[in-house]
């Protein structure tokens, strides 16, 4: 059962081959076993999972119409609000937080009879690239347990890779869906900004945060994307309309730009070899291939690490110990109450970001940092809309390196920040982007290829990713049981 696509699980439930309860019991058993090794879940809502499955089975008994996600177990990153299920955001601050409502994406999954299958581990407040910043301990990479799974959606990525659930939701502010997808050998998609409602996504950097699907193939990604996308009046940045993507065979010939990525960062040799092969193949198939250099990409990490912490410092001011979350026990003044609550409730990385952000937004430095970064962001956006007048896609590695060892970069935040260099642009300009597995490096670790398209071209991007997936034919089973 573990090897089935999400779509196949649904179809087997609908045609009566499996009962939903059998499916969830199978995956629960597997989840508990693998979780002991990898630490994928912060919360596994076991009883409630059984209830959800029974509900779907009752619908089948009564011959009621089933939704598009009927009976599929879906891992949910723990920064997405789930009613009556603890939602911690990977933080001590929200260790005991039980939300009284659902995020819009959760409601949409439930309307389509999907199963909310556990809350997955993540870097605290989605700040990180390795999952080592989780208050609940780090996640391990299913391909090599001494290595990180990537982050911040590391629990979702590791869970899909280790076949604990076939699909999952992650969130992506600077690469947190795509980078862990690359490290774990799965597919991760960040939709166009505004396509998926952020209502109920605990905010990190609101102008870049985006929820998106993670899975082991593009068809499953499209299935989940089709359910969660669409206008939501409770999110003022939500785009109008709703998109339905069908993955179909296409003879379409595209114009594809390959980034000269070695000019920007030192890129894994194996990746470059695989990319070269793919380029030749696509050319032979009749696609129009060009090489591009975008020197401005050198600045994206710097811009991101001004804008994201600035927004975070403002968003996280709500965690004051008064309204919700952790509250310090002993204090003798109001000021001490705030200081101790926030000092004790937040982890190191979150505090670092709050301090950087507060500094960048302070009256004396606002123009020099925040405003300047915004100007460069606008410039980049213009640059890329020019680029997309001439090409359909930009391809580059998802990350400069494959998964690194646990502990390797934790004491050097700058080094860790640089691993986002190829993913951040999509968030700064609001474009859709996807990472698909392309092969293994010399250490037998998965590598991801990153495809970026112009905004609102999500459907075209997913269809192209499906073509590439078939060409690459990635067979990357982690050896975990």
Question: In the complex, which residues of this chain contact ligand GLN (CB under 6 A)?
Answer: 126-129, 152, 172-176, 204, 308, 420
Q: Which residue has the tokens 């070899």?
A: 273
Q: Which helix (H) or strand (E) holds 117?
A: strand 115-120
Taking the C-alpha atoms of residue 136 and residue 95, their distance in angstroms, rounded to an integer, is 9
* Residue 174 or 230 with smaller CB distance to ligand GLN: 174
Is 248 catalytic? The answer is no
Residue 229 sits at φ, ψ, to 5 deg, of -80, 165
* Residue 126 or 462 with smaller CB distance to ligand GLN: 126
Q: Where are the alpha helices (DSSP H) in 136-194?
A: 154-161, 178-184
Q: Find the shortest distance in angstroms from Cβ 210 to ligand GLN.
A: 9
Q: Find the shortest distance in angstroms from Cβ 356 to ligand GLN.
A: 11
Is 263 catalytic? The answer is no
* Residue 67 or 448 with smaller CB distance to ligand GLN: 448
Residues 6+ apart with CB under 8 A from 284: none
Given a contact cutoff of 8 angstroms between Cβ atoms, the answer to whether 232 and 199 are in contact is: yes
Q: Which residue is nearest to ligand GLN (CB)?
A: 176
Question: Residue 318: helix, strand or coil by DSSP?
Answer: helix
Q: Find the shortest distance in angstroms from Cβ 155 to ligand GLN.
A: 13
93: nearest Cα among 355, 417, 340: 340
Taking the C-alpha atoms of residue 220 and residue 223, their distance in angstroms, rounded to an integer, is 5
Q: Find the shortest distance in angstroms from Cβ 349 to ligand GLN.
A: 8
* Residue 45 or 88 with smaller CB distance to ligand GLN: 88
Is 152 catalytic? The answer is yes
Given a contact cutoff of 8 angstroms between Cβ atoms, the answer to whether 422 and 263 are in contact is: no
Q: Find the shortest distance in angstroms from Cβ 171 to ligand GLN.
A: 6
Q: Find the shortest distance in angstroms from Cβ 175 to ligand GLN.
A: 5
Q: Find the shortest distance in angstroms from Cβ 366 to ligand GLN.
A: 21
* Residue 171 or 268 with smaller CB distance to ligand GLN: 171
CA distances 31 to 165, 290, 307, 311, 429, Å, are 8, 44, 37, 35, 37
Catalytic residue, candidates 19, 77, 140, 409? 77
* Residue 129 or 217 with smaller CB distance to ligand GLN: 129
Taking the C-alpha atoms of residue 338 and residue 296, their distance in angstroms, rounded to an integer, is 41
* Residue 127 or 267 with smaller CB distance to ligand GLN: 127
Catalytic residue, candidates 153, 176, 310, 435? 176
In 352-472, DSSP assigns E strands to 393-397, 433-440, 446-453
Residue 285 sits at φ, ψ, to 5 deg, of -75, -5
Catalytic residue, candidates 129, 130, 152, 431? 152
Taking the C-alpha atoms of residue 42 and residue 48, their distance in angstroms, rounded to an integer, is 15
| Angle (nearest 5°) at CA 226 between 220 and 232 | 145
* Through-space distance between the first and last CA atoms of the chain, rounded to whole angstroms: 14
Q: So which residues are the catalytic ones?
A: 77, 152, 176
């Amino acid at each position: 059962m573990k090897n089935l696509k999400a779509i196949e699980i649904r179809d087997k439930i609908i045609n009566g081959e499996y009962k939903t309860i059998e499916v969830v019991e199978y995956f629960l058993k597997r989840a508990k076993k693998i979780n002991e090794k990898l630490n994928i879940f912060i919360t596994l809502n076991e009883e409630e999972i059984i209830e959800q499955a029974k509900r779907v089975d009752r619908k089948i008994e009564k011959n009621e119409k089933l939704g598009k996600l009927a009976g599929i177990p879906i891992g949910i990153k723990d920064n997405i609000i789930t009613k009556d299920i603890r939602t911690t955001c990977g933080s001590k601050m929200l260790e005991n937080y039980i939300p009284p409502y659902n995020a819009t994406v959760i409601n949409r999954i439930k309307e389509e009879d999907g199963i909310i299958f556990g809350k997955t581990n993540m870097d605290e407040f989605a700040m990180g690239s390795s999952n080592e910043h989780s208050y609940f301990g780090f996640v391990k990479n299913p391909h090599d347990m001494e290595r990180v799974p990537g982050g911040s959606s590391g629990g979702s990525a590791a869970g899909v890779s280790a076949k604990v659930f076939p699909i999952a939701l992650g969130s992506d502010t600077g690469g947190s869906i795509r980078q862990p997808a690359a490290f774990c050998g799965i597919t991760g998609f960040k939709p166009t900004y505004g396509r998926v409602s952020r209502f109920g996504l605990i905010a990190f950097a609101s102008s870049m945060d985006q929820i998106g699907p993670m899975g082991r193939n593009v068809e499953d990604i499209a299935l989940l994307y089709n359910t969660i996308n669409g206008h939501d009046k409770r999110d003022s940045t939500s785009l109008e309309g709703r998109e339905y993507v069908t993955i179909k065979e296409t003879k379409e010939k595209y114009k594809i730009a390959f980034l000269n990525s070695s000019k920007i960062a030192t890129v894994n040799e194996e990746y470059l070899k695989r990319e070269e092969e793919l380029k030749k193949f696509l050319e032979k198939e009749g696609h129009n291939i060009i090489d591009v250099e975008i020197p401005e990409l050198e600045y994206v990490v710097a811009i991101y690490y001004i804008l994201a912490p600035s927004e975070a410092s403002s968003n996280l001011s709500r965690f004051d110990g008064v309204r919700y979350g952790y509250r310090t026990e002993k204090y003798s003044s109001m000021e001490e109450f705030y200081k101790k609550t926030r000092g004790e409730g937040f982890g190191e990385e979150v505090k670092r970001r709050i301090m950087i952000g507060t500094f960048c937004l302070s009256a004396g430095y606002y123009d020099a940092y925040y405003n300047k970064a915004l100007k460069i962001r606008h410039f980049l956006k213009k640059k890329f809309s020019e680029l997309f007048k001439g090409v359909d896609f930009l391809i580059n590695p998802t990350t400069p390196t494959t998964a690194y060892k646990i502990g390797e970069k934790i004491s050097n935040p700058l080094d860790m920040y640089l691993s986002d260099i190829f993913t951040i642009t999509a968030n700064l300009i609001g474009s859709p982007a996807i990472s698909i597995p392309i092969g293994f490096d010399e250490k037998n670790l998965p590598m991801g290829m990153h495809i970026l398209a112009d905004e609102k071209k999500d459907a075209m991007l997913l269809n192209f990713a499906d073509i590439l997936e078939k060409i690459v034919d990635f067979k990357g089973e982690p050896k975990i049981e």
